[in-house]
Amino acid sequence: MAFDYGKFVQGGIGKQLATALGLPRPTRLRRHDPKGSLVPGAVYVTGHGDAKVAHRVSAWLERAGVPIATSPSTSVAALVLDMSEIETPADLETLRAAVAPTLKTIQPTGRVIVIGRPVEEATSVAQGAARRAIEGIVRSIGKEMRAGGTANTVLVADGAEDAVEAPLRFLLSGRSAYVDAQVFHVATPVAPVEDPSDWAKPLEGKVAVVTGAARGIGAAIADVLARDGATVVCVDIPAAGGPLVEVANRLGGSALQLDVTADDAGAKIVEHTVSRHGGFDIVVHNAGITRDKLLVNMDADRWDSVLQVNLLSILRMNEALVPAINDGGHIVNVASIAGIAGNRGQTNYGASKAGVIGMTSLLAADPTIVAKGITVNAVAPGFIETEMTAKVPLATREIGRLMNSISQGGLPIDVAETIGFFSWDASRGVTGNTVRVCGQMMMGA
Amino acid sequence: MTTSLRRAAVLGGNRIPFARQFGAYAEASNQDMLTAALDGLVARYHLGGEQVGEVVAGAVIKHSRDFNLTRESVLGSALSPSTPAYDIQQACGTGLEAAILVSNKIKLGQIESGIAGGVDTSSDAPIAVSEKLRKKLLKVNRAKGAKNQLLALTDLRPTDFGIASPGNTEPRTGLSMGEHMAQTAKTWGITREAQDELAVASHRNLAASYERGFQDDLVTSFKGLAKDANLRPDSSMEKLATLKPAFGKGENATMTAGNSTPLTDGASVVLLGSEEWAAAHGLSVQAWFVDAETAGVDFLHGDEGLLMAPAYAVARLLERNGLALQDFDYYEIHEAFASTVLATLKAWEDEDFCKNRLGRTEALGSIDRTKLNVNGSSLAAGHPFAATGGRIVASLAKQLHEKGPGSRGLISICAAGGLGVVAILEGA
Ligand SMILES: NC(=O)c1ccc[n+]([C@@H]2O[C@H](COP(=O)([O-])OP(=O)(O)OC[C@H]3O[C@@H](n4cnc5c(N)ncnc54)[C@H](O)[C@@H]3O)[C@@H](O)[C@H]2O)c1
């Protein structure tokens, strides 16, 4: 059996050793429980100035039955801090004064969520500086938080306040367990923001296509989308047919065997979903491969196959998928930290995943996409415990696990939950985002 | 009650890749394989939890515990447990016969949908004790009290302990199927070269079908096997020429392991339904199951070859449907042996055979060989007896659908016991 540091330090000699040596002991993260409450305690809501966004948030939390606190205490599980009205860096004192005492008492797996405004929309240089400063503060808070706590920023464009609830709901919940130090950009929704009739099934009635669904992160994505109510079309190569069938049948979806690099892959997905399920609302481009080699030894074959599967296939499939996807739908791409930070031996992979991030922001702004009210976002997973990473040598694997603020690797479900959030109709204000699911990994941060 | 017949549609199919004996499925039972084939079908056509009209399947070689094999497989599958099922067995004709039965019930309006299939394992085959030992053991079981049981046990002799494992020998002749076929091949003067050519074509056609993605929605990988283990894409006349004959004697020994099907494990299923059911499930009709016929030949007392029955069945089927042998776009003639296909074709071309045996006024004639087994057949894929029918029906239906409405396909399958099962499909 492979050595697992996280388990080793949880008890017995491992625990003593870790405590004596001051080694990190990962906390068991709070993950989404469909039967549980949104937050395990009260949410302390405060802000700068009139804090108009905070008032909206309070009203919403009240409606959602979440207890609200007006000061830090041990019953507080999350802090929502509205800094949208700051004018100069001097105003940041509000943030210090609110967060400092909160950090002392906040519950394990706590959440610090700071609401700001986009830097580009600043009306003065000083305001721009102050707005940008928030990101620096929140990233540092992420590194200071203990016991599985996270800190994230939500930047709301002027007039997009209606769309702020979805990212807040996501960040407060266990769905965002491994999302740390990220910036969520909320803009005017591409289509009307719609709450589901039941938040236990936010994707009820939707049809989702997930590529690379036979195993790993793709199988977890299929599971989460199905748990949240979607009918899932599970796509993978014919050679993975056996496991693909297991995934599809356990969640009552359908299986479609194809190679995403085939010329007619997009057309086949459209044909399958339209005939079997009457169309589709969500596409998750997850299929991906690695063919590592130092660039000096990289042959054209390795180079090409990675770019084909991870990037070119998505561009090609989208030519068929974009016209066919239902209006108001959602496209989510799976990028990688390697596409942000780069990785030794992964020039091909890094290229493909950086390309995915570029494609995501451009496609989100594409007039056809906007006209159809489609959101396009990406997740960039950090170190996720899968068959792929289980093959990484022990030392490298342990470094991968520990080189982040939460001192553990993420689980496939963490990536899946973020994709699920992007797929909500309530998330229509969130498009063109690339969110890292990395526990604030130090790489490329 | 008068019932007007409606059409039965072939909607799709699924099979697991066929493995060689003691290969990837050495540890898999018939039930495991049939369940996997069903589950693949369920996932492909989104039938999870669905109650299908009926599932009909069977295996040629079966353990006695598998008396309800198909029903047990349904219960283990993702189909609704309220889906009824039954087993049939007609040697290598099992799979096709199952499809005939399902399509007939659909045509009669007794069911809206059904799944036909078959499975066989040559690896997990049942082992029977010798007949003598079996009788004596039953006697021990009948004896009352420990003393009498012990007494009955003393009746056992060391020579009783034999194991009878089922082979594909004909019960009434004691000859293997290959030996039977060698006789027929000799009668019809089938050359080694012609057989090898057919084998090479089978491998090339099957390999090409995988290559062009044709099998992507017909096959689902199982136990790590993604393609038929027997498939040799690089098969050639030169390679086949090096093989030693396996059946027959002297210069008539033309049949080798290369132009005969190996023992294989696998399972296949086909989804059939009424037009309305298909539409309600968003499934496109691949082909119509038009008509079918079976025949038996007297290979014991008469002088007909064991595997020649399809020649008779096809003649009757064509007659009934007012069709000529040449009226087809594709021919699927099961390659039990390359010589089976070639002998059948020769018989149809033979005026004497067609007049005297089939009772026709003239020969059925020859077929365009480029239309024969265009996606490969049993020589390349392998032949898990009861699974072959499902493989052929699903693949031919898809091929006909690609060709377009009105295209026609003929299926011909020979079976042990001098049986033949044949059918006509029409593209939709
Ligand atoms: N595991 C991690 O830590 C990690 C980190 C960052 C990004 N990612 C990305 O997440 C995605 C999933 O990764 P994973 O760890 O689950 O990998 P995985 O190898 O376990 O699963 C990938 C799946 O994609 C399928 N696939 C590959 N090529 C395909 C093709 N041409 N057509 C159809 N399907 C194809 C595979 O058969 C497999 O089922 C990938 O895009 C990967 O780059 C993973």
Q: Which residue from A minimizes the CA distance to B215? A: A238
Mutation target among B14, B35, B216 for the A interface, most CBs of A within 10 A = B216
Per-residue pLDDT, A9:
57
- The terminus-to-terminus CA distance of chain B in angstroms comes to 30
Contact B283 A275 (CB under 8 A): yes
Determine what percent of chain B is predicted with pLDDT higher than 90. 76
Residues of B in contact with A245 (CB under 8 A): 36, 39-40, 42-43, 220
Contact B42 A262 (CB under 8 A): no
Q: Which residue owns the Cα nearest ligand 1 atom 2?
A: A384
The predicted model gives A365-393 an average pLDDT of: 91
Query: Which segments of chain A belong to CATH 3.40.50.720?
Result: 29-186, 207-437
Q: Using an 8 Å Cβ cutoff, are A187 and A431 in contact?
A: yes
Task: Please give the Cα distance from B321 to B296 (Å, whole number).
Answer: 20
Distance from CA of A216 to the nearest CA of B (A): 17
Q: Mind telling me the catalytic residues of A?
A: 349
**Which of A238, A249, A276 shows the shortest C-beta gap to B39?**
A249
DSSP letters, A364-398, are HH-HHHHHHT-EEEEEEE-SB-SHHHHTS-HHHHH
Per-residue pLDDT, B246:
85
State pLDDT tens for residues B118-133: 999 988 776 666 777 7
The predicted model gives A60-66 an average pLDDT of: 92
The predicted model gives A384-397 an average pLDDT of: 82
Q: Ligand 1 atom closest to Cα of A353?
A: 43
CA A93 to chain centre: 30
Per-residue pLDDT, A253:
97
Choose among B416, B347, B407: nearest CA to B374.
B407
A248 touches chain B (CB under 8 A): yes
Q: Mind telling me the catalytic residues of B?
A: 92, 383, 414
CA A313 to chain centre: 22
Task: Please give the Cα distance from A388 to A74 (Å, whole number).
Answer: 40
Contact B43 A258 (CB under 8 A): no
Residue A310 DSSP symbol: I
Task: Please give the Cα distance from B168 to B92 (Å, whole number).
Answer: 11
Q: How far is the CA of A335 from the centre of ligand 1 (A)?
A: 10
Q: How far is the CA of B419 from the centre of ligand 1 (A)?
A: 50
Task: Please give the Cα distance from B369 to B385 (Å, whole number).
Answer: 25
The residue that leads in pLDDT, A313 or A388, is A313
Choose among B168, B209, B195, B176: nearest CA to B345.
B195
Residues of B in contact with A258 (CB under 8 A): 213, 216
Q: How confident is the model at residue A2 (pLDDT cuts 50, 70, 90)?
A: very low
For the domain A207-437, what is the CATH code? 3.40.50.720
At residue A1, does pLDDT exceed 50?
no
Q: Using an 8 Å Cβ cutoff, are A334 and A217 in contact?
A: yes
The predicted model gives A109-123 an average pLDDT of: 95
Q: How far is CA A207 from CA A196, A210, A264, A391, in A?
A: 15, 10, 20, 33
Per-residue pLDDT, A82:
96
Q: How far is the CA of A388 from the centre of ligand 1 (A)?
A: 8
pLDDT, mean over chain A: 92
Q: Using an 8 Å Cβ cutoff, are A171 and A154 in contact?
A: yes
**Ligand 1 in contact with A291 (CB < 6 A)?**
no
DSSP letters, A141-158, are HHHH--TT-EEEEEEE-T
**Ligand 1 in contact with A336 (CB < 6 A)?**
yes
Q: How far is the CA of A153 from the centre of ligand 1 (A)?
A: 29
**Which of A249, A252, A258 shows the shortest C-beta gap to B216?**
A258
Residue A311 DSSP symbol: I
Mutation target among A249, A259, A269, A272 for the B interface, most CBs of B within 10 A = A249
Instruction: Say which residues have a Cβ less than 8 Å from residue B145's Cβ, sequence separation at least 6.
Output: none
Q: Which residue owns the Cα nearest ligand 1 atom 44?
A: A381
Per-residue pLDDT, B171:
81
B28 touches chain A (CB under 8 A): no
A270 touches chain B (CB under 8 A): no
- The terminus-to-terminus CA distance of chain A in angstroms comes to 32
Q: Residue ranges of chain B with pLDDT lower than 50?
A: 1
Contact A254 B40 (CB under 8 A): no
Residues of B in contact with A239 (CB under 8 A): 221, 226
The predicted model gives A253-278 an average pLDDT of: 96
Both tokens of A156, joined, read 């709301």
State pLDDT tens for residues A20-53: 555 556 889 999 998 888 999 999 999 999 999 9
Q: How far is the CA of A287 from the centre of ligand 1 (A)?
A: 5
At residue A17, does pLDDT exceed 70?
no
B35 touches chain A (CB under 8 A): no
Q: Which residue from B minimizes the CA distance to A257? A: B216
| Domain locations along chain B | 128-164, 177-213+289-427
Q: Which CATH superfamily is domain A29-186 in?
A: NAD(P)-binding Rossmann-like Domain (3.40.50.720)
Among B residues 64-83, those touching chain A with beta carbons less than 8 Å apart: 78
Task: Please give the Cα distance from B362 to B370 (Å, whole number).
Answer: 24
Q: Which residue from B minimizes the CA distance to A262? A: B213
User: Residue holding tokens 């394990």?
Assistant: A108
A73 touches chain B (CB under 8 A): no
Task: Please give the Cα distance from B96 to A26 (Å, whole number).
Answer: 59
Q: Which CATH superfamily is domain B177-213+289-427 in?
A: Thiolase/Chalcone synthase (3.40.47.10)
Determine what percent of chain A is predicted with pLDDT higher than 70. 94
CB atoms within 10 A of CB A263: 9
CA A35 to chain centre: 22
Handedness of CA B225, B226, B232, B234 (dihedral sign): negative
Task: Please give the Cα distance from A87 to A188 (Å, whole number).
Answer: 22
Instruction: Say which residues have a Cβ less than 8 Å from residue A255's Cβ, sequence separation at least 6.
Output: A233, A234, A235, A236, A241, A244, A245, A247, A248, A249, B40, B43, B44, B220
State pLDDT tens for residues A343-363: 888 999 999 999 999 999 999
Residues of B in contact with A241 (CB under 8 A): 40, 219-221, 226
Is this structure's pTM higher than 0.95? Answer: no
Q: How far is the CA of A353 from the centre of ligand 1 (A)?
A: 12
Which of A209, A217, A283 to probe ligand 1 with, by most ligand atoms within 8 A of CB?
Answer: A217
Per-residue pLDDT, B252:
72
Q: Which residue owns the Cα nearest ligand 1 atom 7?
A: A336
Q: How far is the CA of B206 from the centre of ligand 1 (A)?
A: 29
pLDDT, mean over chain B: 92
Residues of A in contact with B40 (CB under 8 A): 241-242, 245, 255
